[in-house]
Amino acid sequence: MNVLLIGSGGREHALAWKLAASPILQTLYCAPGNPGIAREAVCVDLDIDDHAAVVDFCKDKEISLVVVGPEAPLVSGIADDLKTAGIPVFGPTAAAAQLEGSKGFTKDLCDRFGIPTGAYMRFNNAPKAKAYIHATGAPIVVKADGLAAGKGVTVAHTVEEASAAVEDCFEGAFGEAGAEVVVEEFLEGEEASFFCLCDGESALPLTTAQDHKAVGEGDTGPNTGGMGAYSPAPVMTDAMIERTRDGIIRPTLKGMAEMGAPFTGVLYAGLMITSDGPKLIEYNVRFGDPECQVLMMRLKDDLLLLLKAATDGMLWTTSARWRDEAALCVVMASKGYPGSYAKGSSIRNLQEAQAADDVEIFHAGTATRDGEIVADGGRVLGVTALGRTVGQAQRKAYEAVDAIEWEDGFCRRDIGWRAIGRNG
Ligand code: AMP
Ligand code: GLY
């Protein structure tokens, strides 16, 4: 079958790498793709915001599945438009993508269907939000309601900081996304990410991962899209997975179906493992980036068959098996990220760096110039390795990082520290 993958990041490179290995794949196209993806797929210069153009492309190339990587096209209804045109698509409709597109929507769903999460209030003006913050006290969390590229959340340690975050939102720091604000209870515990494939009715649990959102070692400094990840996450014991599935995922799918917005695609639950068990921090309606990179390294089964089964409402016929090894991904970013950074510096020695067994370098923000790979974004490479333990995967990943010649890049040197602290 012919498949169109939408996106251009490290997540999409990992998906392309895995899809390309499927025996049922004929041609994989990717719009817009990147130089790493171009090794696995035919990259096409399609404007993914132009849904009619995407539909035309799919008809022309006889695409029998579209796989949508990032959230923005889903929130803006690309799955709806493809479905209307009769093209099968892996990813939720705009109505179901509200699980990521509106934090208030998800909090209301939790409230209505008894899903464990932090206490919250929704506000559409600053004075009321600030009054609530004063009455509740700190620490407290302030979130812009809509999509803000991972930057709309402030974990405030003082009432003043929380009030300033409220002001920022209503003054337009996050544009439309901040026109409504959710103020939420601060949850204490260890974070973990849990992924499921969903077909509207049932969920196939995938596996767990842990992300490293802060830019600096020891989880310091501003938040980023993610500086590294590993899988599995030891904090997600079998008991925690079961509680998450039964108490969080199942009622979500049931609730969404009841509300007329059944969820198809990847449901990514951002969890806080508290002393009372798992609580939902947020949902994303797509694979995590860089969590996808570690998941794909561990997945033994045919990804295309799994995504097709989810799209066809046939998940109950499938299972997903995982390699016993741990996978760990170190993100290399341009110096300055998540603030401003320069583009265009040369990156060399990538071939040699990934020569070792079980090491893959996934491209995110790269471009080619005169036959050479250059940096073209904030997060640039996802250096990913498998190992018997998280510690061994970490050593292999950093060996590969150290073989890469890129003066203008940096990475955190402590990816995996929590798991390594537990198990070595
Ligand atoms: P989000 O974009 O909702 O994942 O939030 C970004 C980060 O803020 C999360 O990964 C957590 O580290 C933190 N965070 C969000 N909500 C809470 C909460 N209610 N309690 C504690 N930390 C939170
Ligand atoms: N790595 C976090 C995310 O994909 O949202």
pLDDT for 209-234, tens place per residue? Answer: 999 999 999 999 988 999 999 999 99
Segment 278-288, tens digit of pLDDT: 999 999 999 99
- State yes or no: pLDDT of 126 exceeds 60: yes
Q: What share of the chain is helix, strand, coil (3-state, %, to 5)?
A: 35, 30, 35
pTM: 0.95
Band (pLDDT 50/70/90 cuts) for residue 87 is very high
Choosing from 99, 153, 181 the residue with most ligand 1 atoms within 8 A of its CB, the one to mutate for a pocket test is: 153
- State yes or no: pLDDT of 175 exceeds 90: no
Segment 236-256, tens digit of pLDDT: 999 999 999 999 999 999 999
Chain centroid to CA 347: 25
Backbone angles phi, psi at 417, to 5 degrees: -60, -35
For ligand 1, is residue 214 a contact (CB within 6 Å)?
no
Q: Average pLDDT, stretch 34-53?
A: 97
Among the atoms of ligand 2, which is closest to the Cα of residue 11?
Answer: 4
Distance CA 226, CA 42 (A): 27
Band (pLDDT 50/70/90 cuts) for residue 147 is confident
Q: Average pLDDT, stretch 82-106?
A: 97
Segment 288-343, tens digit of pLDDT: 999 999 999 999 999 999 999 999 999 999 999 999 999 999 999 999 999 999 99
Q: Average pLDDT, stretch 131-155?
A: 90
* Max Cα distance, the chain (Å): 60
For ligand 1, is residue 191 a contact (CB within 6 Å)?
yes
- State yes or no: pLDDT of 186 exceeds 70: yes
Residue 362's SS3 state is strand
Query: Which of 421, 414, 374, 417 has the alpha carbon at shortest distance from 398?
Result: 414
Give distance in angstroms: CA of 168 to centre of ligand 2: 23
Residue with structure tokens 């950074």? 341
Least confident of 87-96, 115-124, 143-152, 318-327: 143-152
Least confident of 5-9, 142-146, 257-261, 361-365: 142-146
Distance CA 389, CA 423 (A): 8
Q: For position 408, what pLDDT does the model report?
A: 97
Q: For position 171, what pLDDT does the model report?
A: 87
- State yes or no: pLDDT of 404 exceeds 80: yes
Q: Average pLDDT, stretch 87-103?
A: 97
Distance CA 416, CA 424 (A): 10
Give distance in angstroms: CA of 247 to centre of ligand 2: 22
Give distance in angstroms: CA of 72 to centre of ligand 1: 20
Q: For position 208, what pLDDT does the model report?
A: 92
Among the atoms of ligand 2, which is closest to the Cα of residue 291?
Answer: 1
Distance CA 405, CA 371 (A): 16
The rounded percent of the chain whose pLDDT value lies above 90 is 92
Distance CA 182, CA 268 (A): 20
For ligand 1, is residue 147 a contact (CB within 6 Å)?
no
Q: How many CB atoms lie within 10 A of CB 40?
A: 22
Give distance in angstroms: CA of 153 to centre of ligand 1: 7
Atom 4 in ligand 2: residue holding the nearest Cα: 288
- State yes or no: pLDDT of 423 exceeds 80: no
Atom 5 in ligand 2: residue holding the nearest Cα: 288
For ligand 1, is residue 282 a contact (CB within 6 Å)?
yes
Q: For position 128, what pLDDT does the model report?
A: 93
Q: For position 222, what pLDDT does the model report?
A: 87
Q: For position 148, what pLDDT does the model report?
A: 83
For ligand 2, is residue 225 a contact (CB within 6 Å)?
yes
Least distant ligand from the CA of 379: 2
For ligand 1, is residue 198 a contact (CB within 6 Å)?
no
- State yes or no: pLDDT of 150 exceeds 80: no
Among the atoms of ligand 1, which is closest to the Cα of residue 187?
Answer: 20
Among the atoms of ligand 1, which is closest to the Cα of residue 117?
Answer: 19
Residue 63's SS3 state is strand
Backbone angles phi, psi at 231, to 5 degrees: -145, 140
